[in-house]
Amino acid sequence: MIQLKIERLSYQVDQQVILTDINLTVEKGSYLTITGPSGGGKSTLLRLIADLLTPTSGTILLNDQPLTQFSPNQYRQKVSYCFQQATLFGETIGDNLRFPYEIRNLPVDMATIEKALAAVGLANMPLTKKITTLSGGEKQRIALIRNVLFPPEVLLLDEITTGLDAANKAIVLAFVQHLNEDCGLTIIAITHDTEELQRKGRQVQIVAGELVNQDELSR
């Protein structure tokens, strides 16, 4: 089943063309890796899919519905975006992990939060811990589980292991694999990491604003 369909998508700022005529389909429950040179338009594509930017032309369909038919809140509960640099807010871990419940006017489920923390190797991390005291790897893991306490249909990952040490990277990648294989989330991930590129799944490249399929590159 096709979950996400991008048709003739282009994006430019003033006279600078960033993406040109992107056509892409993503199957439900699949894992798509996007590679390519820096500055080629990869992050711009993810931001367009996340509805953080508005395309110059073309359409994005989620479950056969145009993105424009969703309210911003509806869409962001279905499609979640993780930034390369983890973005936390408030003062504590608890401020971040209670937030998904608060915006839905639901009681905080501590059991689910504790299970999520344990899944990313933070089982003993108190919710009162100040975010200013967290390492980069800890911040990235908190941001990631905040995005999936209420699992989206599509999870967008923008080089989220960049700058992490080997141990933190392994934990994050194992959790993402769990979300894909065990929970059925559709993953679209940007990476330059050679280890991540070894994983099974579909890969495409974006070069100079144009989409190049791996099959075409190998011919």
pLDDT tens track, the chain, 219 positions: 889 999 999 999 988 999 999 999 999 999 999 998 888 899 999 999 999 999 999 999 999 999 989 999 899 999 999 988 888 999 999 999 999 999 999 999 999 999 999 999 999 899 999 999 999 889 999 999 999 999 999 999 999 888 788 888 888 888 999 999 999 999 999 987 766 666 667 889 999 999 986 544 433
| CA-to-CA dists, residue 81 to 23, 94, 136, 201, angstroms | 20, 20, 18, 20
Q: What are the helix (H) ranges across 25-92? A: 42-49, 72-78
Q: How many Å apart are CA 49 and CA 128, to the nearest integer?
A: 34
For the entire predicted model, the pTM comes to 0.90
Domain boundaries, the chain: 2-90+135-218
Homologous superfamily (CATH) of 2-90+135-218 is: P-loop containing nucleotide triphosphate hydrolases (3.40.50.300)
Are 157 and 100 in contact by the 8 Å Cβ rule? The answer is no
